[in-house]
Structure 1
């Protein structure tokens, strides 16, 4: 990488940090910005079309700083090299398309979990319209007066949790850059804090993707990470990097 951050990478980091500080400021006023800017399941009453874009700049709120720190570190480390290779325009296209890809695959995975819940709920005599209404969050991120019979039925609670839990973070876009980096620089050696042994990118990144796939399929109850968003972003990054790399050094 060069001595300074390339312009798009630098500005994306600045925007993400500004959004993070905005969530802190609104949090002081007991307003949850993720209600308006996080990406909800498209069927949720909390979903707004702009969330497909804005969720990429939202991160877990204070005092959790590890989410934004890891993403911004990865954006600096891998985004800089990818931007310098493909140029600002293609880099920006890759970043947002990877983020959109993450949103799509994450919600596709949610769909296959939500549909059986809806069928079970209807079979128990509950109204899906009522559940839809009671799933709407107020500005504080709280539900409106959920009836006792709704609170005591696990399938209803699970569906409401799908409707009221937003996806936030730049991770889908970041994974697109991670995979693109591995395509561009397969022999570059990488090492992370939790795994300090240097491994070539062409081995390291596929291992990370494999772990994401395993964790996503297992769907652990304690695990609130959007693994399929990572996979969706990684897939877009791979497809674009493979396509663009073929023409990278082609002469006119």
Structure 2
């Protein structure tokens, strides 16, 4: 920090002011650009203080920390993506409670006759259902689980989402979650297009699979996730009304993406991390188009 001595009384020397706030008197200068700065514009530096512009310029040359998988470490420890996904699911659930139409219009459905007597579903020009269904859950009076459906899924997301988001980085985590959810919807569409389904379970199972693969890769404790996964697979096949296609499709998708994330060679890591989700999405699109063509063949 450099300062100017106080001018002697009666001196005609003008009092220096902050370069960003001309009305504020100051005798402190930025140690980098030597401009006068007021307390609001001061930023602590290794020696003295710097102005906000010099600090911003210096930060441009600082390399961001990377996760073990090569993703950019979040600037904040808060798992923003995980909390945002939970928030979206909760808001959508409140919309469901307000109107059944939210479920009817956005649940996963391959093809069926709607209330108005017309065909509805993915095969009838509504492919968005493959995506929107992963944010819907059973209403309190719906099916075997009711409100416990969203409670369990959100608990699972809250429990393992932050750690995966920290290890993968945000965009990889988003890709893993969304593609796992889509994987469940696509498998249901391929195997049983007349069945309806809602829930984030496909995406959650994808996180389970990814957590196991990445944990094994880096020597983490995978026993608890294996136990949780086995219990949920037993429930999936033992309890009527659960879409096993959604769970298995999400699990397989999440595990395969995690393999690409965790085992990509260091030199090709960035390329593979981008290519794997893109190839997965293209594959899903092709499968959906082929199934749609099959379902609509011969329909006028």
Are the counterparts in 1 of residues 179 and 253 from structure 2 also a CA contact under 8 Å? yes
Work out the CA distance in 2 between the residues paired with 1:183 and 1:205. Answer: 15
Aligned residue pair count? 180
> Radius of gyration: which is bigger?
2
Are the counterparts in 1 of residues 180 and 251 from structure 2 also a CA contact under 8 Å? yes
Structure 1's unaligned 5+ residue stretches are 112-161, 191-198
- 1:19 pairs, out of 92, 112, 127, with 92
Q: Which SS does the other structure have where 2:171 is aligned? A: helix
> In 2 relative to 1, CA 97–86 (structure 1 residues): closer, same or farther, beyond 3 Å?
same
Aligned twin of 2:129: 51
Question: Which of 1 and 2 has higher RCO (CA within 8 Å, sep 6+)?
Answer: 1
Are the counterparts in 1 of residues 208 and 229 from structure 2 also a CA contact under 8 Å? no
- 2:191 pairs, out of 109, 113, 127, with 109
- 1:223 pairs, out of 240, 257, 267, with 240
- 1:177 pairs, out of 207, 214, 238, with 207
> In 2 relative to 1, CA 21–4 (structure 1 residues): closer, same or farther, beyond 3 Å?
farther
Shift of 1:189: 5.1
> In 2 relative to 1, CA 105–51 (structure 1 residues): closer, same or farther, beyond 3 Å?
same
Work out the CA distance in 2 between the residues paired with 1:93 and 1:65. Answer: 27
Shift of 1:42: 4.0
Aligned twin of 2:227: 204
Please tell me whether residue 90 in structure 1 is matched to residue 90 in structure 2. no
Are the counterparts in 1 of residues 130 and 186 from structure 2 also a CA contact under 8 Å? no
**TM-score when normalising by structure 2:** 0.53
Aligned twin of 1:130: none
Aligned twin of 1:71: 153
Are the counterparts in 1 of residues 150 and 199 from structure 2 also a CA contact under 8 Å? yes
Shift of 1:208: 4.6
Shift of 1:78: 1.4
> In 2 relative to 1, CA 99–239 (structure 1 residues): closer, same or farther, beyond 3 Å?
same
Work out the CA distance in 1 between the residues paired with 2:262 and 2:112. Answer: 38
**1:39-64 superposed Cα distances (whole Å, 9 cap, x missing partner):** 11246622122211110110001352
Between 179-188 and 234-243, the greater mean CA deviation after superposition? 179-188
Q: Which SS does the other structure have where 1:230 is aligned? A: helix
- 1:242 pairs, out of 236, 245, 259, with 259
Q: RMSD of the TM alignment (CA)?
A: 2.8
Are the counterparts in 2 of residues 212 and 231 from structure 1 also a CA contact under 8 Å? no
Work out the CA distance in 1 between the residues paired with 2:265 and 2:164. Answer: 12
> In 2 relative to 1, CA 15–210 (structure 1 residues): closer, same or farther, beyond 3 Å?
closer
Are the counterparts in 2 of residues 188 and 200 from structure 1 also a CA contact under 8 Å? no
**1:215-244 superposed Cα distances (whole Å, 9 cap, x missing partner):** 2xxxx7x60011111100010111111111
Work out the CA distance in 1 between the residues paired with 2:266 and 2:161. Answer: 20
**1:169-209 superposed Cα distances (whole Å, 9 cap, x missing partner):** 1110110001101111246557xxxxxxxx443x4366357
Shift of 1:108: 2.2
Work out the CA distance in 1 between the residues paired with 2:140 and 2:228. Answer: 29
- Counterparts of 1:143-158 in structure 2, within 5 Å, are none
Structure 2's unaligned 5+ residue stretches are 1-73, 114-118, 271-300
Work out the CA distance in 2 between the residues paired with 1:212 and 1:241. Answer: 24
**1:124-161 superposed Cα distances (whole Å, 9 cap, x missing partner):** xxxxxxxxxxxxxxxxxxxxxxxxxxxxxxxxxxxxxx
Work out the CA distance in 2 between the residues paired with 1:86 and 1:19. Answer: 26
